[in-house]
Structure 1
Amino acid sequence: MVSILNKPSSLVHEIYIEKVARWKLFKFSEPLQQRMEQLLETKKAEQLMAEEIAELDAIEELDRIFTHINAMMAAQDVNQ
């Protein structure tokens, strides 16, 4: 299980690169992906504790950053 935290940078070790079709994309490790899904389910049930809110915020921020980077790399590849 991923430890409780509030800094996205502390999760960088949970990111890897995977080749998908012709692109190399940043992806979450399986444990981090599962933790995010678990926290989102708990959030839907409105049962998140304060520490979990901070943890989910950090994971979601990292997700937005790497989604943006992946999109930029894919767009650059298309434009070449």
Structure 2
Amino acid sequence: MITQTMVQPSSWVEAGVTIQTIRGLNLFKFTDELQARLEALIDQQKANTLTAQEEAELAGITELDRIFTLINARIIAES
């Protein structure tokens, strides 16, 4: 297992996540601002220009994305 420093994913839950109703299901979705930040960090990562702080931020947002993808998949599967 590789140890990685990351910004706590929970730090974005209040302001960076919304609940959107899609086909009658309430699913978790990033706000436009958080989605744009994720995409900007990914672009910087591809260009190999991330700072250590930005790497930690990217790791945290990516982890939150994984969590919500799993939760949304379970919500959909159980509907």
TM-score, normalised with respect to structure 1: 0.86
- Which residue of 22, 37, 47 corresponds with 1:35? 37
Count of residue pairs the alignment pairs up: 73
21-30 vs 45-54, greater mean Cα deviation: 21-30
The 10-residue stretch of structure 1 (21-30 or 42-51) with the greater mean CA deviation from structure 2? 21-30
The aligned amino acid for 1:49 is T
Instruction: Give the one of 52, 55, 59 matched to 2:54.
Output: 52
Compute the displacement of 1:21 (Å). 1.9
Unaligned 5+ residue runs, structure 2? 1-5
> 1:44 deviation in Å?
0.6
Structural mapping, 1:1-80, within 5 Å: 6-13=7-14, 14-77=16-79
- The alpha carbon displacement at 1:20 in A equals 1.3
Poorly superposed stretches of 4+, deviation over 6 Å: none
SS of equivalent residue, structure 1 residue 46 = coil
Letter of the structure 2 residue corresponding to residue 48 of structure 1: L
Unmatched 5+ residue regions in structure 1?
none
Q: Secondary structure of the residue that 2:48 maps to in structure 1?
A: coil
CA RMSD of aligned residues (A): 1.1
